């Protein structure tokens, strides 16, 4: 297809870490219009930092963010306003986007009015009803407060709140991880339907590769603040390149049967504060050599996949 970049993050670094903000070191990725790019990795790898940085909730120490061809990471609050409409975020905890003291009607009316100041009350009301119906929450429940809903319903409502301002691009950070397993698939399907019906582009953050297999167009695999591999979803599952990706895939029980013997991860996960030299994975990689401990591997094309690994580069993997 003839894709345009909806968003690109170039050379992104965050060095000022604090609680819940993990370092990222030289992340470059493009999200193409209409795709769902999934960012996968273990807790603490920096994937949420990527999400919050592209949303302008964190300012990168280095690097640039471009949205639809325009640089946005250096904009003033005022110049950012149109992007605050076009780019919406869905959090793991729906309470993060729902004020407990506002009814659902209030929570949904507020952003619609804010971003469409010329709309009549009737137009705002119609939009709020439309998105509530789209997420499967009866609009007559709008008079209730968030605590009166189940976790799954609350997440549906926060999705409705994101959709209500008619965004183009949605960053979803672990949107189903906090939900009951029995309703995770429903909420995932809801997000997929919304994407198809509203021409949305997604950056989808998850620690769960089995979710990605059915959802993502492409997958970016992160480890300790760096990007290991970026591939089309089918390609990643049928022909993973990076030793870390292979280890992650072999940990999915239903997939591991007829594959190469699983790679056993050795060693401890280093802390992102004191990053290892060279390849950040070298302490846990069974294929590490001298070069791996000294030189940072760069992302390079291998077929349609991009992978950062000296072993692959040297033809010994
Ligand atoms: Fe393993 Fe070396 Fe490749 Fe890193 S660069 S994944 S240590 S082989
Ligand atoms: Mg996270």
Residues 166 and 283 in one domain: no
pLDDT digits (tens, 9 = 90+) for 216-239: 899 999 999 999 999 999 999 999
226-232, strands of its sheet edge to edge: 87-90, 169-173, 201-206, 36-40, 218-223, 226-232, 305-307, 300-302
Q: Is residue 33 part of a domain?
A: yes
What atom of ligand 1 comes closest to residue 228's alpha carbon?
Answer: 6
Regarding whether 292 and 192 lie in a shared domain, the answer is no
Q: Is 292 in the pocket of ligand 1 (CB under 6 A)?
A: yes
CA of 244 to the centre of ligand 1 (A): 9
pLDDT in tens, 50-103: 999 999 999 899 999 999 999 999 999 999 999 999 999 999 988 777 999 999
202: which strand partners? 36, 170
151 and 205 belong to one structural domain: yes
Ligand showing the shortest atom-to-Cα distance for residue 91: 2
C-alpha closest to that of 164 among 200, 132, 195, 193: 132
* 32 and 72 both lie in a single domain: yes
**Residue 227 located in a structural domain:** no
Q: Note whether 186 and 260 are same-domain residues.
A: no
Residue where a domain terminates, one of 220, 251, 274: 220
> Crossing angle for the helix pair 104-115 and 151-163, nearest 10 degrees?
20
Residues 128 and 247 in one domain: no
Our answer on whether the CB atom of 243 is closer than 6 Å to any ligand 1 atom is: yes
Q: What gap in Å lies between CA 244 and CA 10, rounded to an integer? A: 23
H or E segment at 28? Answer: strand 24-32
Query: pTM for this structure?
Result: 0.92
| Judgement on whether residues 293 and 198 belong to the same structural domain of the protein | no
Residue 46's alpha-carbon distances to 19, 103, 183, 280, in angstroms, are 12, 34, 27, 13
282/140 same-domain check: no
> Structurally, how many domains does the chain consist of?
2
The answer on 123 and 37 residing in a single domain is yes
User: How many A from CA of 285 to the centre of ligand 1?
Assistant: 6
**Ligand 1 mutation pick, 224, 228, 287, max ligand atoms within 8 A of CB:** 287
Q: Is the pLDDT of residue 167 over 70?
A: yes
Q: What proportion of the chain, given as a percentage, has pLDDT over 70?
A: 92
ipTM of the complex: 0.97
Task: Tell me which of 188, 220, 252 is where a domain ends.
Answer: 220
CA distance 162 to 169: 10
**Domain identity same for 59 and 189:** yes
Structural domain includes residue 235: no
Cα–Cα distance between 225 and 14 in angstroms, integer?
A: 9
Owning domain of residue 45: 5-220
């Amino acid at each position: 297809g003839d894709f345009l970049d909806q968003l690109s993050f170039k050379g992104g670094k965050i060095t000022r870490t604090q609680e819940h903000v993990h370092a990222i070191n030289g992340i470059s990725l493009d999200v193409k219009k209409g795709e769902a790019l999934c960012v996968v990795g273990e807790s603490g790898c920096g994937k949420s930092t990527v999400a919050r940085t592209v949303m302008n909730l964190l300012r990168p120490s280095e690097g640039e963010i471009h949205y639809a061809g325009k640089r946005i990471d250096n904009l003033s609050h005022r110049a950012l306003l149109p992007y605050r409409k076009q780019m919406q975020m869905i959090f793991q905890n729906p309470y993060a986007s729902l004020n407990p003291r506002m009814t659902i009607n209030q929570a949904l009316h507020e952003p619609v009015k804010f971003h469409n100041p010329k709309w009549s009350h009737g137009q705002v009301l119609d939009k709020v009803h439309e998105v509530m119906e789209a997420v499967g929450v009866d609009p007559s429940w709008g008079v209730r407060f968030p605590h009166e809903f189940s976790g799954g319903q609350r997440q549906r409502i926060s999705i409705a709140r994101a959709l209500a301002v008619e965004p183009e691009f949605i960053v979803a950070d672990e949107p189903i991880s906090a939900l009951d397993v029995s309703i995770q698939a429903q909420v995932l399907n809801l997000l997929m339907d919304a994407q198809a019906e509203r021409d949305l582009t997604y950056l989808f953050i998850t620690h769960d590769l089995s979710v990605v297999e059915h959802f993502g167009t492409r997958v970016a695999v992160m480890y300790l603040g760096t990007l290991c591999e970026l591939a089309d979803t089918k390609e990643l599952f049928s022909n993973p390149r990076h030793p870390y990706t292979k280890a992650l895939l072999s940990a999915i029980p239903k997939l591991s049967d007829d594959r190469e013997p699983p790679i056993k991860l050795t060693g401890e996960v280093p802390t992102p504060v004191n990053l290892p030299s060279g390849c950040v994975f070298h302490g846990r990689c069974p294929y590490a050599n001298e070069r791996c401990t000294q030189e940072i591997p760069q992302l390079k094309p291998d077929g349609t996949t991009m992978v950062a690994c000296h072993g692959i580069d040297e033809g010994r993997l």
